[in-house]
Chain A
Amino acid sequence: MRIVVLVKEAPDTYGERFLDLETGLADRNKSDRVLDEIVERALEYAISYAEKHEGTEVVALSMATEDATASVRKALAMGADRAVLISDGALVGADVTLTAEVLAAALTHIGYDLVIAGDQSTDGAGGVVPAALSELLDIPQITKLTTIELDDKAVSGTRVIDRVTLKLRAELPAIVSVTERFPDARFPNFKGIMAAKKKPFEVLSVADLGADIDVLAKPRAIMTEISAKPPRAAGVKIVDEGDAGNQLAEFLKKNQLV
């Protein structure tokens, strides 16, 4: 069994995040760069499964600039067996369709039984890569799972939506995405950190994948305008001079908060 987990470096959501208003890209150098939290949860599942099932290989796959190596290596420190980073200057600013095409080629190159992704990243929050991969690879997808059960033939899981819990199942090979309801990931242990440097870490370009991907061949999503989120307006200060209760009620009513 080979499980490939799609991992992504993202600006740390616990710190401040910045957008480059000229390029429209996240300004990663201004924030702490970490492995996206949802990705860590996906990895946790894959690694735990591999620990209990001999013969399971966990591969961390990422598409990013080469300086994301440290973040991707964390997947190895946590316990993934090897990592593949697709890094190519032509891919800077790739939209979701191009990202999916490249990842599909990479997955074909690596080979897989199960692909696990987070349901959406904390930075781009596109949430369509798993579906696009399902289409491109012609494999079933079951998305937004809160639990996974896996055997040699199939993957099943639970998706919780408003008042309904769905049980879903797909034959392998398949792609699944998981939500933040998945259990917390482990912290890489000291021995894992030391072992990570000795694990295989492949950095490949688009050409290395041997796939026919022409970055400029078709129109991609084009950003036409971008602006920073307006700063928060000053709040309304109510000074109690005997009628603060009424003023508060008025405010709530006016803003349709009650």
Chain B
Amino acid sequence: MSESQVSPEDFVEILGGLREFIREAVIPLEREIAEKDEIPQSLRKQAMDLGLFGYAIDQEWGGIGLDVVQQAELGIELGYTSLAFRSMFGTNNGIAGQVIAGFGTETQKQQWLEGIASGDIVASFALTETGAGSNPGSMRTKAVKTADGWSISGEKRYITNAPIADVFMAFAKVTDETGKAKVEVFIVPSNLPGVTVGPHDKKMGQAGAWTADVHFDEVKVTDDALVGGQPGIGYKAAMTSLAKGRITIAALAVGQAQRVLDESLAYAAIAKQGDELIGNFQLVQAMLADMQVGVSAGRALVLDTARKYQSGEDTRIAPSVAKLYCTEMVGKVADLGVQVHGGAGYIREYPVEQIYRDVRLLRLYEGTSEIQQLIIGSNLMKQKLAEN
């Protein structure tokens, strides 16, 4: 795993700066983002200036070069506000950007990473299909070899940032001479003939974060579009990007849970029933206590997972454990947050109402909770059997 390019002292200041930015510049815009279903351009510009599009990309390519533990801490901080805000640069740092950063050739890195790190290029990760959500094995998008490259055809679904993407990391199956199919990943600029992006989906939550269908209709790319320059990399690139991404999702869940707790505590300390603050009722205190336990446990788990991923000790089971626990935890915490608010928790002007809907996605994307259970269970068995 790559070492951090940012000293612990500098990172403390970066984290402090980000916290100030989120509280002063992003939180005041949460309602606007949700109501307009759009991130204001001025906020996007500020995020670019801050360095948020490339915090996980090496300094060599113009990024900040945070290590996995630092990324997790940053993720908790980013999770404190609208998830749509993070989603805007999430694919650049995460699943899409990491495909090129981790598996691209030098030429591919040179061509794309600087723009991705600055935010001038939006990269999107096109893996999911209607019949192939959490299992890339059943993917139907195909890439067929042509004289000087590849022809890609297929349909992708729920692709984050697709409507604003400049480039897709497009996953497709390639069948070799022996008839065996393997998943490969191609760098596909969104302006190539044959690439069509559907209207953005109307979702339950996370307004402002756009997803859409992406159609590839005999899209012609040259040989150098194949990530890594040779076959056999796609599946590993997908799995690696997703595993690392799971730590980020877990971190975001902890940030959202912390926000729900803070909002609920603040509400419990001012709202009254009769002459009594609701926070003085023991049943409300019990809910606050359960929320705090979830937040504390989640935070400890995310940071421990990031450390194990960073050291190489566990890059497979731990990220799934963290994602499973933290995303389920934030679901419960958000539910309790609404409950503490009573009727107010069902009203749009209170942040917990939005968070309740927004965090539902965390249990679905980048591997559902059930997929995490399968990854954890099957790998535990694999390890045990290997011992025998």
Segment from B43-51, B82-90, B96-104 that makes contact with A: B43-51
Q: Does A197 contact B (CB under 8 A)?
A: yes
The 0/1 profile, CB within 8 Å of B marked 1, for residues 147-189 of chain A is 0000000000000000000000000000000000000001111
Across the interface, which residues of B come within 8 angstroms of A194, CB to CB?
6, 10, 14
- Among B6, B17, B24, the residue within 8 A (CB) of A188 is B17
Q: Is the CB of A187 within 8 A of B64?
A: no
Closest to B55 in A: A190
- Interface residue ranges of B1-60 to A (CB < 8 Å): 6, 9-10, 13-14, 17, 20-21, 24-25, 46, 49-51, 55
Q: Is the CB of B25 within 8 A of A187?
A: yes
Q: Is the CB of B49 within 8 A of A193?
A: no
CB distance from A52 to the nearest CB of B (A): 16
Q: Is the CB of B13 within 8 A of A189?
A: no
Closest to B9 in A: A197
Closest to A190 in B: B51
Q: CA A197 – CA B11 in complex, angstroms?
A: 12
CB distance from B73 to the nearest CB of A (A): 13
Q: Is the CB of A190 within 8 A of B14?
A: yes
Q: CA A194 – CA B4 in complex, angstroms?
A: 13
Across the interface, which residues of B come within 8 angstroms of A193, CB to CB?
10, 13-14, 17
* Interface residues in chain A, defined as those with a beta carbon under 8 Å from any beta carbon in chain B: 77, 186-191, 193-194, 197
Q: CA A194 – CA B55 in complex, angstroms?
A: 13
Q: Is the CB of A77 within 8 A of B10?
A: no
Q: CA A194 – CA B15 in complex, angstroms?
A: 12
Q: CA A20 – CA B10 in complex, angstroms?
A: 33
Across the interface, which residues of B come within 8 angstroms of A197, CB to CB?
9-10
CB distance from B75 to the nearest CB of A (A): 15
Q: CA A193 – CA B6 in complex, angstroms?
A: 10
Closest to A70 in B: B13
Q: Is the CB of B13 within 8 A of A186?
A: no
Closest to B62 in A: A191
Q: Is the CB of A189 within 8 A of B49?
A: yes
Q: Is the CB of A187 within 8 A of B46?
A: yes
Q: A190-B55, A191-B64, A197-B10 are in contact. List 13 more A-B contacts (CB 8 A).
A: A77-B13, A187-B17, A187-B25, A187-B49, A187-B50, A188-B17, A189-B17, A190-B64, A193-B10, A194-B6, A194-B10, A194-B14, A197-B9
**Can you report 30 residue pairs joining A to B where beta carbons are below 8 Å apart?**
A186-B49, A187-B17, A187-B20, A187-B24, A187-B25, A187-B46, A187-B49, A187-B50, A188-B17, A189-B17, A189-B49, A189-B50, A189-B51, A190-B14, A190-B17, A190-B50, A190-B51, A190-B55, A190-B64, A191-B51, A191-B64, A193-B10, A193-B13, A193-B14, A193-B17, A194-B6, A194-B10, A194-B14, A197-B9, A197-B10
Q: CA A193 – CA B64 in complex, angstroms?
A: 11
Across the interface, which residues of B come within 8 angstroms of A188, CB to CB?
17
Closest to B52 in A: A190
Across the interface, which residues of B come within 8 angstroms of A187, CB to CB?
17, 20-21, 24-25, 46, 49-50
Closest to B51 in A: A190
* B9, B25, B51, B55 interface centre (most CB from chain A within 10 Å): B51
Closest to A197 in B: B10
Closest to B5 in A: A194
Across the interface, which residues of A come within 8 angstroms of B25, CB to CB?
187
Across the interface, which residues of A come within 8 angstroms of B20, CB to CB?
187
Closest to A187 in B: B21
Q: CA A187 – CA B186 in complex, angstroms?
A: 37
CB distance from A114 to the nearest CB of B (A): 25
Closest to A196 in B: B13
Across the interface, which residues of A come within 8 angstroms of B49, CB to CB?
186-187, 189
Across the interface, which residues of A come within 8 angstroms of B9, CB to CB?
197
Q: CA A193 – CA B12 in complex, angstroms?
A: 10
Across the interface, which residues of B come within 8 angstroms of A77, CB to CB?
13, 17
Across the interface, which residues of A come within 8 angstroms of B64, CB to CB?
190-191
Across the interface, which residues of B come within 8 angstroms of A189, CB to CB?
17, 49-51
Across the interface, which residues of A come within 8 angstroms of B6, CB to CB?
194
Q: Which 10 residue pairs across A and B have the least CB separation, nearest first?
A: A190-B51, A187-B21, A189-B50, A193-B13, A194-B10, A190-B64, A190-B14, A189-B51, A189-B49, A193-B14
CB distance from A120 to the nearest CB of B (A): 22
Across the interface, which residues of A come within 8 angstroms of B51, CB to CB?
189-191
Across the interface, which residues of B come within 8 angstroms of A186, CB to CB?
49
Q: CA A187 – CA B13 in complex, angstroms?
A: 12
Closest to A194 in B: B10
Q: CA A177 – CA B55 in complex, angstroms?
A: 37
CB distance from B96 to the nearest CB of A (A): 20
Closest to A191 in B: B51
Q: CA A182 – CA B154 in complex, angstroms?
A: 53
Closest to A193 in B: B13
Across the interface, which residues of B come within 8 angstroms of A190, CB to CB?
14, 17, 50-51, 55, 64
Q: CA A200 – CA B215 in complex, angstroms?
A: 54
Q: CA A42 – CA B17 in complex, angstroms?
A: 19
Q: CA A186 – CA B9 in complex, angstroms?
A: 22
Q: CA A194 – CA B51 in complex, angstroms?
A: 12
Q: CA A197 – CA B24 in complex, angstroms?
A: 24
* B13, B25, B51 interface centre (most CB from chain A within 10 Å): B13
Closest to B12 in A: A193
CB distance from B314 to the nearest CB of A (A): 28
Across the interface, which residues of A come within 8 angstroms of B17, CB to CB?
77, 187-190, 193
CB distance from B50 to the nearest CB of A (A): 5
Q: CA A197 – CA B9 in complex, angstroms?
A: 10
CB distance from B52 to the nearest CB of A (A): 8
Q: CA A77 – CA B20 in complex, angstroms?
A: 14
CB distance from B173 to the nearest CB of A (A): 39
Closest to B13 in A: A193
CB distance from A191 to the nearest CB of B (A): 6
